[in-house]
């Protein structure tokens, strides 16, 4: 298979997927019942009528905690490709296994330094 034939196969799969999506959405629109009412247009959340204004002030600590979680979660994803690649390294590769291990220890040390800083600042305390 040539380079362009591979992309042609991919393009056909994308087009078929988009057409299938369009057909399913059109069939759904045609077959569903449509009985609009004012009660259906009201805000509904967890079976409880919404009260008050939609705006409320949230403590910044929740955002910082969520940001730290995402930061460490995304950085932990970098460990998986490293773990796969480090097993294939040997003396003949451009990068030595020792360099890869040292680089990962530096990466983890940077993560731990950030965690220690957040802990020292009291960001992780949940009051």
Give domain status of residue 50, yes or no: no
For the stretch 82-106, pLDDT in tens is 888 888 888 788 888 888 889 889 9
Closest alpha carbon to 103 in 77, 72, 82, 76: 82
Whether 75 and 27 map to the same domain: the answer is no
Give the residue ranges of DSSP H helices in the chain.
Answer: 3-31, 60-77, 79-86, 97-121
> Do 77 and 116 belong to one domain?
yes
C-alpha closest to that of 79 among 112, 107, 99, 98: 107
Q: 70 with 107, same domain?
A: yes
**Total structural domains within the chain:** 2
Q: Is the pLDDT of residue 26 over 90?
A: yes
Tell which wins on pLDDT, 70 or 16: 16
Instruction: Please check whether residue 38 lies inside any domain of the structure.
Output: no
pTM over 0.75: no
Helices 97-121/60-77 angle, 10° precision? 170
Instruction: State whether 66 and 107 are in the same domain.
Output: yes
Whether 126 is covered by a domain: the verdict is no
**Residue 4 in domain:** yes
Q: Which of 76, 78, 60, 83 is nearest to 112 (CA)?
A: 76
Residue 79 covered by a domain: yes
Q: For residue 6, what are the contacts with CB-CB under 8 A and spacing of at least 6?
A: none
**Per-residue H/E/C for 108-127:** HHHHHHHHHHHHHHCCCCCC
In a domain, residue 46? The reply is no
**Residue 127 pLDDT > 70, yes or no?**
no
Residue 20 belongs to domain spanning: 1-32
Phi, psi of 48 (to 5 degrees): -115, 135
pLDDT value of residue 25: 96
Q: Are residues 24 and 70 in the same domain?
A: no
74 & 110 share domain: yes
Look at residue 37 and tell me if it is in a domain. no
Q: How confident is the model at residue 13 (pLDDT cuts 50, 70, 90)?
A: very high
Question: What is the pLDDT at residue 55?
Answer: 72
Contact 89, 96 (CB under 8 A): yes
């Amino acid at each position: 298979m040539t380079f362009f034939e591979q992309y042609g196969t991919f393009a056909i799969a994308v087009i078929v997927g988009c057409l299938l999506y369009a057909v399913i959405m059109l069939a759904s629109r045609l077959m569903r019942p449509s009985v609009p009412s004012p009660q259906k247009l009201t805000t509904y959340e967890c079976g409880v009528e919404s009260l008050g204004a939609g705006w409320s002030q949230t403590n910044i600590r929740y955002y910082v905690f969520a940001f730290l979680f995402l930061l460490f979660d995304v950085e932990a994803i970098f460990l998986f490709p490293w773990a796969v690649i480090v097993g294939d390294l040997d003396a003949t590769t451009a990068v030595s296994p020792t360099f890869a291990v040292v680089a990962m220890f530096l990466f983890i040390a940077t993560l731990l330094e950030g965690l220690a800083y957040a802990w020292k600042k009291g960001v992780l305390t949940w009051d």
